[in-house]
Amino acid sequence: MKKPPEGGFLLGPVFRTRKARAGTQCARSRISGASRRKGRRAAQHPGHESVLFGAIAYRAHSRQNTAKRSPRNSPEDTMGTAITFKRPDGKDAAGYLANAARGNAPGVVVIQEWWGLSDQIKGLCDRFALAGFDALAPDLYKGKVVPYHDTDSANKEMNSLDFMDATTQTVRGAAQYLSRNGAKVGLTGFCLGGAVTIIGATKIPELAAGVVFYGIPPEQAAKPADVKIPLQAHFANKDDWCTPELVNGFEKAMKAAGKSLELFRYDAEHAFVNEQRQAVHDREAAELAWGRATEFFRKHLG
């Protein structure tokens, strides 16, 4: 099986793994500089490209279909609230907001995995709030949350997402909301959200720092030379799609561009932070990454 090119993506035909090898589900996404028109193929419109993210592969082990939800992340245990905020284009967007106890706290925008704005992502917002940050997770799927076992639906939802609109409008709107009183704002995301974080680092002027978890977008969407903020990144050595080789390529490109990057590798699986997916969760790696991420944000956001 040939390897994907450096950068963690393929243009054109979908790259598929052999079904016999761990049942890997690869997801094809579309990125464009303009709004994507539904029902038309990307090839019919200049600037629209079908992109296969190395970041957004899901290792579908059969035991993951029975993943249990963590009790601390059940809806009744969340400390935040659902809000509506404005995008730069004036449209409304929804999200989950958890506020820190202190006033005028720095903010962190938290971007979902390909499952949607799940209880697990809300739980991470709560953790950021307890750590002293106002945390807002924008709902990129507009209310749709996919169960962990339903990879086909997750793939469908992600393929329907206009990544550029999501980043430059919805995610930027969330950053503007958190910075409305002058607070510094950071951006973090997981898998799909990791790719969005790097795109946001090149296109959202309100950001002061970003933390990436196992996500790399194509250079057509976000060139390392265009990154405008310090980045910290966390990757899994056992991630068989966003591979160590692809991570090395990203690190090399960032260094060549003279950009600020702290990059950490863990002997873990893709999505190792997600405690609701016990088949891939690595508690030790997740807690180490969490400590590094919060310390990084404290350094750059205050």
**Contact present, 106 and 184 (Cβ < 8 Å):** yes
Rounded to whole angstroms, the Cα distance separating 116 from 140 reads 7
Residue 3's CB is within 10 A of a number of other CB atoms, namely 9
pLDDT band, very low/low/confident/very high, at 241 (cuts 50, 70, 90):
confident
Average pLDDT, the chain: 81
Residue 271 lies in a domain: yes
252 within a domain of the structure (yes/no): yes
The phi and psi torsions of 261 (rounded to 5 degrees) equal -145, 125
Residue pLDDT, tens place only, 13-50: 222 222 222 222 223 333 433 333 333 333 333 333 32
Confidence of residue 122 (pLDDT cuts 50, 70, 90): very high
Q: In Å, what is the CA distance from 282 to each residue of 52, 190, 267?
A: 26, 15, 9
* Assigned token pair, 159: 């393929």
Look up the CATH number of the domain holding residue 283. 3.40.50.1820
What is the percent of the chain with per-residue pLDDT over 90, rounded to a whole number? 72
Give the residue numbers spanning the domain of 22. 9-301
Residue in 166, 240, 153, 238 with CA at minimum distance from that of residue 197: 166
pLDDT average, residue stretch 233-245: 94
Two tokens, residue 264: 């950490």
Q: Is residue 202 part of a domain?
A: yes
Has residue 96 been placed in a domain?
A: yes
Contact between 122 and 78 under an 8 Å Cβ cutoff? The reply is yes
| Burial class for 279, CB neighbours closer than 10 Å (0-12, 13-18, 19+) | middle
Q: In the prediction, which pLDDT does 281 show? A: 97
Query: Of the ranges 8-12, 62-66, 105-109, 219-223, which is most confident?
Result: 105-109
How far apart are alpha carbons 269 and 300 in whole angstroms? 28
Indicate whether 196 belongs to any domain: yes
**Domain annotation covers residue 146:** yes
**b/e code 121-153 from CB counts within 10 Å (16+ = b):** bbbbbbbbbebbbbbbbbbbbeeebbebeebeb
Strand partners, 58: 25
d(CA 272, CA 283): 8
Out of 64-68, 93-97, 118-122, pick the least confident: 64-68
Establish if 156 belongs to a structural domain: yes
Number of domain units in the chain: 1
Is residue 1 domain-resident? Answer: no
pTM for the model: 0.80
